[in-house]
Structure 1
Amino acid sequence: MNDIKITKILIVDDHAHAREAIREQLSEYKDFLIIGEAQNGEEAIFLADELNPDLILMDINMPGIDGLKTTKLIKEQHPNIIIVILTVSEDSTHLFEALKQGAQGFLIKKVNPGDWYPYLKSVVSDNIPVSYEFVNEVLQTMSSHPKKNTSTIPNPLSQREMEILKLVAKGYTNKEISNISFISENTVKNHLKNITKKLGIKNRVHLTRHAIENGWIEP
């Protein structure tokens, strides 16, 4: 019996040829199903409600409501929908802003099309490493704003969970954490599930940001 898990995808881009290119390069994968397309933020919000996709590929620059604002509005209503921002820019500030709005990933349009699939699969499985650029951006932002008082924020994580979180913050994948910690990859995943449940955060990059901002770890 075929046990392929299908990821339902909504494409959001104001350029028809861009949507077509994305559709063509992803349609060859049996576990990816394009269920809709939107050409602006308003349509994206409507289709997110109507179609309930698993994954939204969101262009960052669109007329009207841009991709960042659209991401924020969709995530407020559908926190379980995974959103990956699409852009032609490699500016890390865009990445940081996208993550602040709730996005789980960031994909440069000019990246080799063959790299899209493994990247998106990693995002969907929440096994994409946290980049050092992201950690640096968090630190830069913190240094340019008044530091909030975090002494009253308790850390609910066990010692083992903190060890796992520190390795996540250093950019290690689940498999690498497994090798470093001498535990199985399934055990790593179970620890991450417990960590995300305790903190109410479902994405490893957001976990890292939360831990850094609250002073639990120092990159």
Structure 2
Amino acid sequence: MSENIDLSELRIAVVDDHNLVLEGFRSLLTRNGLRHVELFRSAAALTDILRTRTYDIYIIDVELPDMDGFLLIDAIREAWPSARIIVSTIHDELWTVRKLVARNVDAIVYKSLDMAHVMEAIRDVSCGEHYYCDEVMTALGMMRNGIDHPSQREMDVLQAIAGGLTSKEIAQRLFISENTVEAHRKSLFQKLEARNIADLVMKAVKRGYIGPI
């Protein structure tokens, strides 16, 4: 059983640009007996030593300020093809899941979940297994069924768009960047096959994503 394996000697690299998140990982991992944990506050900090130092497991975010997280995954795979990668992200959009699965990451855990899921992921991938949280499995089921519903975050953006908010106002309300808002907006237009804002809102109401405006 993966629950019974000794994790103490695993070498773990964690990449995230938020100090609180990094310290949360450090606390979680050391509390669970992992003694070799190294924190990186940027993708560049890891890529600078990528070919000279290896880790058993890489835990990374896909939204980093200095490098697209998907490119970081590619860089890790290029340097160490057998690298085991856990993605911890706030992004639950289907296109994100698709790109991560296409890169055969070993685990996907949403940051909105209890961090205990990260330990489950570490135990599973250290045994050569994959770990996808339940929400990812639901998204994969939608993909298999050809359904591309808006994610919860996209629904938040959709509600704000329907309320007449600008991208800047939405970013401030949801505590995300304007670039992230624009990415959600683009995804919504694609999923609902909308031509403009009015068409987007009309189709969202028709499909029951939001109430009548």
Instruction: Report the TM-score, using the length of structure 2 for normalisation.
Output: 0.57
Pairs aligned (count)? 138
DSSP-derived class of the 2:81 partner:
coil
**1:75 corresponding residue in structure 2:** 77
Deviates more, 1:117-126 or 1:76-85: 117-126
**2:110 corresponding residue in structure 1:** 108
Take 1:101 and 1:69, find their aligned partners in 2: how far apart are those partners?
10
DSSP-derived class of the 1:48 partner:
coil
| Cα pair 2:89 2:110 within 8 Å, conserved | yes
Deviates more, 1:90-99 or 1:50-59: 90-99
**2:157 corresponding residue in structure 1:** none
Q: How far off is 1:132 after superposition?
A: 5.8
Within 5 A, what are the aligned runs for 1:58-207?
58-128=60-130, 131=137, 133-134=139-140, 136-137=142-143, 140=146
| Cα pair 2:109 2:117 within 8 Å, conserved | no
Corresponding residue to 1:15 among 13, 18, 33 = 18
Could you tell me which amino acid in structure 2 is paired with residue 10 of structure 1? Answer: A
Identical-pair percentage:
14
User: Runs of 5+ in structure 1 lacking a partner?
Assistant: 142-219
Take 2:138 and 2:116, find their aligned partners in 1: how far apart are those partners?
24
Deviates more, 1:76-85 or 1:41-50: 41-50
Q: Is it true that 1:41 corresponds to 2:47 in the alignment?
A: no
Take 1:76 and 1:138, find their aligned partners in 2: how far apart are those partners?
29
DSSP-derived class of the 2:109 partner:
strand
Say if 1:27 and 1:96 are closer, same or farther in 2 by CA, change over 3 A: same
Say if 1:103 and 1:47 are closer, same or farther in 2 by CA, change over 3 A: farther
Take 1:106 and 1:36, find their aligned partners in 2: how far apart are those partners?
20
Q: How far off is 1:43 after superposition?
A: 1.5
Could you tell me which amino acid in structure 1 is paired with residue 61 of structure 2? Answer: D
Take 2:49 and 2:93, find their aligned partners in 1: how far apart are those partners?
29
User: Runs of 5+ in structure 2 lacking a partner?
Assistant: 148-213
